[in-house]
């Protein structure tokens, strides 16, 4: 395994591969940053924001749609970034922020919120369509996480991180409706907590285990197929990229680690990459 760079990130999340530019994008939630790494040259790009960012999706029209502390917004020009608000569906809950999210196969953004106070299960996934209409979809957790879709777009996955449970829902690609939520996989106690996830071309779900130091590959039937040990304690989210989508990138965190812990492992908080046998799928861009 390798590290993408020598950088340490407090809370790296939401890695996304842009095949058009051969760039990996991700965020550091606590540093309020969007980061880009151009693999062919190693050049870096940093977008500094004024608030926490949990997730983003590249847009078909260029730029990004982003999930922030203050709601959903556009950044139209990544070289001259200006935040253009769209909607804040939880304006009555200022302690909440957007956390994990990605686009379904039709280009709708599905993004979840989290309750930083952790005093109630307010976290909810919202769906933003190409006409910028927003609606509540699923959720109810302290931390709504792990959003991913099956290759045919008919199954939605999400993880209740503090509840150690990954859920599976039926998803209607035509309407964007989610139904029939059920337990998909429960992470055993002591393994870590299910954080970000993604799905490969065989329909298997990959889950990064926060504070568990590993990633799980789980079949569509909920069977654990593979465990990949990582050189970091707090992996946060995997994504596929590279020319053949057989490179897995994994963001990690080093928040609240002691100087001794950081000195003992220079990889903590880095972006890790390694090769896998089964390719992933291109990330769908926001259609609006």
Within 10 angstroms of residue 133's Cβ, the number of other Cβ atoms is 11
Which domains does the chain possess?
2-275 (2.120.10.30)
Q: Which parts of the chain have pLDDT scores under 70?
A: 6, 118, 120-121
Neighbouring CB atoms inside 10 A of 222's CB total 14
| Per-residue pLDDT at 165 | 96
| Predicted pLDDT of residue 138 | 87
Res 286: pLDDT: 98
Distance, in Å, from the CA atom of 281 to the CA atom of 216, rounded to the nearest integer, reads: 18
CA distances to 70, 84, 88, 91 from 50, rounded to whole Å, are: 10, 13, 16, 17
pLDDT at res. 7: 78
Q: φ, ψ for residue 280 (rounded to 5)? A: -90, -160
pLDDT at residue 144 in the model: 86
Instruction: Quote the pLDDT of residue 143.
Output: 81
pLDDT of residue 114: 82
Residues tagged active-site: 195
Structure confidence at residue 94 (pLDDT): 83
pLDDT at 129: 97
Q: Which two tokens stand for residue 253?
A: 């965190």
Model-level pTM? 0.95
Given this model, what pLDDT does residue 122 score? Answer: 76
């Amino acid at each position: 395994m390798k590290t993408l760079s020598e950088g340490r990130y407090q809370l790296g999340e939401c890695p996304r591969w842009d095949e058009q530019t051969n760039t990996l994008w991700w965020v550091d939630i606590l540093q309020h940053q969007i980061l880009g790494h151009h693999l062919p040259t190693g050049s870096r790009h940093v977008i500094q924001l004024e608030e926490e960012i949990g997730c983003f999706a590249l847009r078909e029209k260029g730029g990004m749609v982003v999930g922030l502390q203050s709601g959903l917004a556009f950044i139209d020009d990544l070289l001259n970034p200006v935040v253009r608000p769209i909607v804040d569906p939880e304006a009555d809950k200022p302690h909440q922020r957007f956390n994990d999210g990605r686009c379904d196969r039709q280009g709708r953004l599905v993004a979840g919120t989290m309750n930083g106070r952790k005093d109630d299960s307010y976290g909810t996934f919202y769906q933003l369509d190409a006409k910028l209409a927003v609606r509540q979809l699923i959720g109810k957790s302290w931390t709504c996480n792990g959003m991913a879709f099956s290759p045919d777009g008919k199954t939605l996955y999400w993880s209740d991180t503090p509840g150690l449970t990954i859920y599976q829902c039926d998803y209607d690609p035509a309407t964007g409706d989610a139904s029939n939520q059920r337990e998909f996989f429960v992470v055993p106690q002591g393994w870590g907590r299910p954080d970000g996830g993604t799905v490969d071309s065989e329909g298997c779900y990959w889950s990064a285990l926060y504070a568990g130091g590993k990633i799980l590959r789980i079949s569509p039937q909920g069977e654990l197929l593979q465990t990949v040990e990582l050189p970091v304690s707090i992996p946060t989210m995997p994504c596929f990229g590279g020319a053949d989508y057989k490179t897995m990138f994994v963001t990690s965190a080093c928040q609240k680690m002691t100087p001794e812990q950081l000195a003992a492992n220079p990889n903590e908080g880095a972006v890790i990459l390694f090769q896998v046998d089964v390719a992933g799928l291109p990330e769908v861009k926001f259609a609006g």
